Structure 1
Amino acid sequence: MPTTVLDGIATRYEVAGSGPPLLMFSPGGFDSTLESWRTVGIYRRLRMLDHLTEQYTCVTFDRRESGESGGRLERISWPHYVRQGVALLDHLGFQQAYLMGGCVGCSTVAAVAVAHPERTLGMVLYSPAGGVKYRMKQHARFLTHLAYAEEHGLAQVVALARGTLAGFSADPRVGPWASVLRRDPEFAARYAATDPARYRLLAGGTARLLFDRDTVPGPEPEDLLTLDVPALIVPGQDDSHAPSAARYLQECLPRAEFWDVPVAEQTEATAPERVLRFLGGA
């Protein structure tokens, strides 16, 4: 699959299908890879990507610090993810596109739409990540990682990450830069040599910036309330995809359609058709 440099970070991506462009922000948390649309949870069951590529040019990619994309040791916030996605549109020559997010990808979709409404034709927010338990779970992961780094040192974090295939979600000790540590020896050397106090600020600041509320993280509600972009919201139904998170987006987005269907009734026969129907009318 092709790789390009976006915002200074190597990014692996794939373009499939034909029709209007649909930029897709993957589910999977800190393991948000382009394969996630075919392998993770409900998206595997729905075969969503297979259906969407029949009518749209679907652009999928590994989020920075995920899969085979690179990363940078810095305090990460939602605008960093926005820059990566918009730079990919620029690289492919798309002035405008539909956007779709799954899980945590919904936060970046909303953030892109707020920052670049003129480039956003419509957005699908499928099973948005959020809720009280989601925030608590994310902060607990960072605390576990920082405790391990404090006790064993960053060089041992590198060794641990390289000795396993587990990502940050499965084993918080490896931290959010685990995939880059495995793939990039130069990055791993710089990471291991980072001042521990500085690292605590970067990692702790990332947790605070990304997961700062008990609903869907990302853009401020006042920005969503003034956003003139059509949206389809499809609710999730577990601790990481609280129904309240989807309802929050419904409350904030003036042009939102809410598909009020339980997860068990979101099937391959119904869900792709509903998404395609929205995109066709957005």
Structure 2
Amino acid sequence: MFANAVDGCRIAYQVQEGASGNGPAVLLLAGQSNNHHWWDPVRADFGTTVTFDYRGTGQSDKPDEVYSTPGFAEDAVAVLDELGLDRVDVYGTSMGGRTAQWLAILHPERVRGLVLGRTSPGRSHGFERSQEIRRALSVRDQAERDAVLIDLMYTPDWVAQNPGPYPVLGDTSMPAYAKGRHLVASNNHDAWDGLDTIQAPTLILHGTDDVFSPAANAQVLADRIPNARAELLPGARHAYFHEFRRTASPLVTDFLAGLRTTQL
């Protein structure tokens, strides 16, 4: 299924129906250079869900042009319009969290509840990963780069017991130019001036041992966004939502269920 973005780009989207009575649909936003399969291990936890492949990934069109997190947010709106969904809950992780910030800023009427996972407000006020990590991720050898990513995403003990495949290592079908466009879009994200206008109640989740997107970003976001609170997951790294599913998913579902109670 496809939606047409404002510039005509075709955006592939996916809907998974949950059990009845689970409340509004949840829009799930994946990380940088990943498609909707990012959410495969945990998608069933959230009732009816909507995902889409960012432009440049999956089955979506892959124009060689400037990408941005506000642009990805507009692509999300095109998907919601195609589905006739006026208002949804939004859960974004990593670059998906950056995209989710812009969706809540630019289209507050479309976002009922907001969950931001291991993300940041952007370079101007956020905490960035170290240059050592950036250098490690820039190696040409794919296997070596994947090994670095796995270590950033998961704890060694969990990896030893779960040999993969891992859904968070990137969309291997992406052309090289699209990967570069995604990297620039994420690096250029800066939503600081709009964060204090977010109207949706917001839950911020972050692993304490995340050095890919340092955990200090969680409190920065919580202090800037009205009606927001941060929850840290002890020992978790960047892919907390996968490895620490038994803790993280109930935090999200309980938060969203609580909004249904307070908004009745």
TM-score by length of 1: 0.66
3-state SS of the aligned residue for 1:222?
helix
How far has the Cα of 1:118 moved from its partner?
1.5
Q: 1:208 to 1:36 in 2, by over 3 A?
A: closer
Q: 1:281 to 1:77 in 2, by over 3 A?
A: same
How far has the Cα of 1:134 moved from its partner?
6.6
Aligned partners of 1:103 and 1:207: how far apart in 2?
12
Whether 1:232 aligns to 2:206 is no
Residue 271 of structure 1: aligned partner:
248
Q: Which string of whole-angstrom CA distances, capped at 9 and with x for unpartnered residues, describes residues 112-170 of structure 1?
A: 0000111110111122267322788679979x9xxxxxxxxxxxxxxxxxxxxxx9969
- Structure 1: gaps (5+ residues): 39-43, 145-166, 179-202
3-state SS of the aligned residue for 1:98?
strand
How far has the Cα of 1:239 moved from its partner?
2.7
Whether 1:118 aligns to 2:109 is yes
3-state SS of the aligned residue for 1:259?
strand
Contact 2:64 2:177 in 1 (8 A): no
2:129 aligned partner, one-letter code: K
Q: Which string of whole-angstrom CA distances, capped at 9 and with x for unpartnered residues, describes residues 34-74 of structure 1?
A: 11112xxxxx4xxx311112xxx200111111122112222
Q: Which has the higher helix share?
A: 1
- Structure 2: gaps (5+ residues): 121-125, 141-167, 260-264
Residue correspondences, number: 215
Contact 1:127 1:246 in 2 (8 A): yes
Residue 218 of structure 2: aligned partner:
246
Q: 1:135 to 1:11 in 2, by over 3 A?
A: farther
Contact 2:58 2:171 in 1 (8 A): no
Aligned partners of 1:135 and 1:120: how far apart in 2?
35
Whether 1:133 aligns to 2:129 is yes
Larger radius of gyration: 1
Contact 2:30 2:93 in 1 (8 A): yes
Contact 2:104 2:199 in 1 (8 A): no
Overall identity of the aligned pairs, in %: 26
Aligned partners of 2:5 and 2:171: how far apart in 1?
27
Cα root mean square deviation, aligned: 3.3
How far has the Cα of 1:234 moved from its partner?
0.4
